[in-house]
A and B are shown apart, each in its own frame.
Chain A
Amino acid sequence: MAEATQPGSTPSVSSAPLLQVQHIELAFGAVQALSDVSVDIDAGEILAIIGPNGAGKTSLLNVINGMYYPQRGRIVFKGVERSKRLRPYQVARQGIARTFQNVALFKGMSTLDNLMTGRVLHMHTGLLSQALYWGRARRDEERQRAYVETIVEFLEIEAIRKTPVGRLPYGLQKRVELGRALAAEPVLLLLDEPMAGMNVEEKADMCRFIFDIRDEFGITCVLIEHDMGVVMDISDRLVVLDYGRKIADGPPHGVRTDQAVINAYLGVAHADA
């Protein structure tokens, strides 16, 4: 990124946070995945969640996204408290989209078709008229396709429109998955390790896309990432989890020097070797 890019690092915080996660407790049997975790996510920020393996990062995303129901705690999205048993598709309909740690695409379908599945929430015609591809259904499909094309252009994947995603290299599959999440026109985008397994160049591309997603689409991004260089570069704020607890929350450079974080990562406090 050029020096000239100085994104207004603190977007308007005057209003209430976009999403509030308060006092979440999540346990699987005896395993306590999350203990009393609270995070506020402000509109327009890029928030990174970091932590050692098994710290509860993905669990937290799964809670936000409605895959897991926490035993305790509340989630407030756009100022409205979420009812206890909201299904993931209902959460998606509210405007929260995500990508997965292991790419979860339809391998046999083309890039375009995969992106079109991201538009399902925005299609308003019935099964029968879609099958007949007639009248309103046709116009609807054309509208959806036009939106998908803006995503294709944005992610620079014009050359693989018609390629079955199973044949694409891993880095491009990740990009298609991001495209599908974007196609849903979310307000909040959850990215689970978007750069895992990528080479340096692919990572740089992905960083640029995340910046541009925030700037061009105005989408708030929450990401889990292990590459500390990347995290320091792109996030406005860091949340650090360790053993299911939040141990730090703040701007990247403050968090980096936090003693609790250093201990969690280097294991100083309780390591003998």
Chain B
Amino acid sequence: MLQDSLLDTFPKLLLARTRQHPNKIAMREKDLGIWQGWTWRQMYDEVRALACGLAAMGLVRGDKVAVIGDNRPQLYWAMIAAQCLGGVPVPLYQDAVAEEMQFVLEHAETRFAVVEDQEQVDKLLAVQEHCPKLEKMIYDDPRGLRHYAAACLDAFSAVQEQGRCFDADHPHYFEEQIAPGCGTDLAVILYTSGTTGRPKGVMLSFDNILITSRNAVAREGLRDDEEILAYLPMAWVGDHIFSYGQFYCAGFTVNCPESSATVLQDLHEIGPTYFFAPPRIWENLLTTVMIRMEDAAWLKRQMFHFFMGVAQRVGARKLAGQSVGLLDTLLYALGNVCLYGPLKDNLGLGRIRLAYTAGEAIGPEIFTFYRSLGINVKQLYGMTEASVFVCVQPDGAVRPDTVGTPMPEVELKISAEGEVMFRSPGVFSGYYKNPQATAETLEDGWIHSGDAGYIDAHGHLKIIDRARDVSRVADTHGSLFAPRYLENKLKFSQFIKEAVVHGQERPYVGAFINIDLAAVGNWAERRGLAYTSYTDLAARQEVYDLIQGEIARVNASLAEDPQMAGAQIRRFLILHKELDPDDGELTRTRKVRRRFVAEKYADLVEALYGPDHQITVETQVVFEDGRSGTLKAELLIRQVGAEAPLAVARG
């Protein structure tokens, strides 16, 4: 690894890596069905030609360069080329609509845009008149652009051609531009998508990204022979760290998929050793496996279930470095030959040494599934404002319910209000042209993460909810009440589709449950329970028993945790209808609108905290054809937790 502190910018690292191993493959892209590679030397030549071309077109120090498109080597080169000249790349989400792009282009005052294809060119041309600073658009794929007459358009290859001529006339220009760059310079502006209001431009310096990347490379033991697949949006900070920051720091190979539709096939062909995926992708992979197993022959299915049982028992312990018995060792080895090896190979996960998941909570079964196969997948906690890395589960001490321990040079503290705060060399210098937002997030170098969490007995950080949603239960301890944390725990049960918990300023926590009609229906059929509708099934004593069991399990896991023990669910009811976006109870992205539900079902909430065990309810519902009607039902309210280990909390 190149540790030289003089190598404080990516352009300097590019020069150093090219000198050190010019013939090592730096990037690959699948084109015409074949993986085409670029060595560091070849990549250097491409970048140099492009940078000189940009210089010939008038790019000067401090200019912003928008980069828009799928993960393509040419677009990664555009970023480094801009940095070589002292410019600042601004990657944008490629699937954003023109108006969203307009805001960023205008706000960042980009003079140049390097884009992938006609689709992006069309969007830029549509908003060009509102972005007076935008002068030049450079496209990589000329398809469909033959008849475009706009003078601001240039082909990527033509710019490089121009650059080669410029380079011949000014042979030292390129190196002269790289030399004055230093670590504190602005390296990149990454716009966060932002759930509320306008996107904010996070300014990260070379030091931010480089030191964070180097620390992560050192702690996680990344080598220069790693293979990674660059398939997540280039505008997302994760891709910028994994496929760009760590790529230059560790010098491994970045592979660009053929198209967004072929990612799973490309994954299989490349067999990455270092891999990042959000929980959604891990879930999808698991679902495909399960569906294919359902269709498999009887013998294969039996083998799958038997060896997965072995894996659940043995795999995670092996990965944690704990000892396992001789029989289990032998069984696991046999399973590896018969199932785990072929399965991992099929998914393209056969060579993984390190994988991450982050962004949201991952279901423990999913997480355990991969870990028990021997795939070292770990949870990561990070933010754009911190150049990603804050905490990672350490090798050998992965606890599924925490996000691990702080990375090197990261300081962590919990504010009086329970908010997670941290300080690190990766912490950004501010939001571009937005001092107010900067002041709200950054305080003396400490970042307010906006997440509520705490550090457990083992020094691991545990994130429970967004800080603004967290409150306290009005019991004797004033226990923490983190609704989304509880609801996620409930929803990890296959029988529970949605859950809404109440508890703020209440003596204990109560819950509304929506059963999963498919899963509970299947369960009922296997037991010979007849039912006519969701409402009917939901009111059954047997179903209440089933759900009570699930809640007791959640309570048991809450009780293990002194901070959360007071938030055990004491009473629940199963709603007589499914929460529905048409009735305003869910958002269109299927998130529960907690306040709306609490108001709409105010009498039910009161019943949770009243003495009765039954309540009659009448609800207006909107049917799919737009008609509305009334749904009337008798609801039971169940008490849970007499045998739940509340003693831990009380004691």
Using a CB–CB cutoff of 8 Å, the interface residues on chain A facing chain B are 2, 4-8, 145-146, 149-150, 152-154, 156, 158-159, 161, 208, 211-212, 215-216
Contact = CB atoms under 8 A, between A and B. Distances in A.
A149 B33 contact: yes
B268 to A, nearest CB: 11
B262 A159 contact: yes
B143 A4 contact: no
Nearest to A149: B32
A161 B32 CA distance: 11
B420 to A, nearest CB: 41
Interface string B144-164: 101111100000000000000
Given A149-B32, A158-B259, A159-B262, A208 B144 contact: yes
Task: Please classify how large the interface on chain B is, using the bins under 10, 10 to 19, 20 to 34, 35 or more.
Answer: 20 to 34
A215 B146 contact: yes
Contacts of B30: 158
A6 B147 contact: yes
A2 B125 contact: yes
Contact of B143 (A8, A161, A216): A216
B147 A158 contact: no
Contacts of A150: 32
A245 B143 CA distance: 39
A5 B148 contact: yes
B122 interface: yes
Nearest to B126: A2
A215 B144 contact: yes
Contact of A4 (B31, B34, B125, B265): B125
Contacts of A159: 259, 261-262, 265
A212 B34 CA distance: 24
12 contacts: A4-B147, A5-B144, A5-B148, A6-B147, A7-B147, A8-B147, A153-B31, A153-B32, A159-B262, A208-B144, A215-B146, A216-B143
Nearest to B123: A2
B285 to A, nearest CB: 16
B258 interface: yes
Interface string B11-52: 000000000000000000011111000000000000000000
Given A153-B32, A156-B261, A159-B259, 14 more contacts: A4-B125, A5-B148, A146-B32, A149-B32, A149-B33, A152-B33, A158-B30, A158-B33, A158-B259, A159-B262, A159-B265, A211-B144, A212-B143, A215-B146
B144 A4 contact: no
A30 to B, nearest CB: 49
Given A156-B259, A159-B262, A215 B32 contact: no
Contacts of A4: 122, 125, 147-150
Interface string B106-149: 00000000000010001001100000000000000001101111
Q: Which 7 pairs between the two chains have the least Cβ-Cβ distance?
A: A159-B261, A149-B32, A149-B33, A2-B122, A159-B262, A4-B148, A158-B258
Nearest to B265: A159
A208 B261 CA distance: 19
A5 B147 contact: yes
Nearest to A145: B33
Nearest to A146: B32
A214 to B, nearest CB: 10
B262 A215 contact: no
Nearest to B34: A149
A156 B108 CA distance: 33
Nearest to A212: B144
Contacts of A161: 33
Among B31, B32, B34, B259, residue most surrounded by chain A Cβ atoms (within 10 Å) = B32
